[in-house]
């Protein structure tokens, strides 16, 4: 009987998805901000699905797979990785503008400009 392990070829699986829930995090004490940043770095290493970003207004945003995952990440961040108490609030919404150019219905060779505003988290 041939060995099955020699025929088995495993390739690494890469999952790419975007977080569903995002919240902004602030330490209750401003002096604990470096601990929060280090804790977010450690959480990002421990959990591959967590997405940590810093927005242009300076707030640290934590993205997770859902409500339960987010609660677990915040608990781990407070108790294991950062060791600080956190203020958690919804992240500010991002606004995206999409510009669309469509041909004029009068067949004049001109294009009409439409702007769509999309709001997301």
In a domain, 9, yes or no: no
Helix, strand, coil shares, percent, the chain, to 5: 30, 35, 35
Q: What's the domain range around 35? A: 21-93
The domain that holds 79 is classified in CATH as 3.30.70.870
In a domain, 108, yes or no: no
Q: Extract the tokens encoding 28.
A: 């209750």
pTM of the prediction? Answer: 0.63
Using the 8-state DSSP alphabet, how is residue 11 labeled? -
Q: Which pLDDT does position 121 carry in this prediction?
A: 45
- Report which of 89, 87, 73 is spatially closest to residue 29, judged by C-alpha positions: 87
In a domain, 109, yes or no: no
In a domain, 79, yes or no: yes
Query: Count of CB atoms within 10 A of residue 65's CB?
Result: 18
Query: In degrees to the nearest 10, what's the CA dihedral of 31, 36, 38, 41?
Result: -160
Q: Which pLDDT does position 103 carry in this prediction?
A: 77
Q: Mind listing the pLDDT tens digit for each residue in 33-77?
A: 999 999 999 999 998 889 898 887 788 999 988 899 999 999 999
In a domain, 102, yes or no: no
In a domain, 84, yes or no: yes
Q: What is the mean pLDDT of residues 18-37?
A: 89
In a domain, 82, yes or no: yes
Give the C-alpha separation, 76 to 26, whole Å.
Answer: 15
The number of domains in the chain is 1
H or E element that contains 51? strand 51-54
In a domain, 104, yes or no: no
């Amino acid at each position: 009987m041939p060995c099955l392990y020699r025929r088995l070829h495993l390739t690494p699986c890469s999952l790419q998805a975007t977080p569903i829930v995002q919240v902004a995090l602030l330490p209750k004490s401003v002096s604990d901000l470096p601990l929060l940043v280090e804790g977010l770095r450690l959480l990002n290493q421990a959990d591959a699905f967590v997405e940590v970003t810093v927005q242009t207004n300076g707030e640290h945003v934590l993205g997770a797979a859902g409500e339960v995952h987010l609660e677990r990440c915040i608990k781990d961040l407070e108790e294991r990785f950062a060791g600080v108490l956190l203020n958690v609030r919804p992240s500010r919404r991002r606004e995206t503008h999409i510009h669309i150019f469509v041909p004029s219905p009068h067949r004049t060779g001109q294009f009409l400009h439409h702007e769509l505003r999309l709001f997301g988290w």
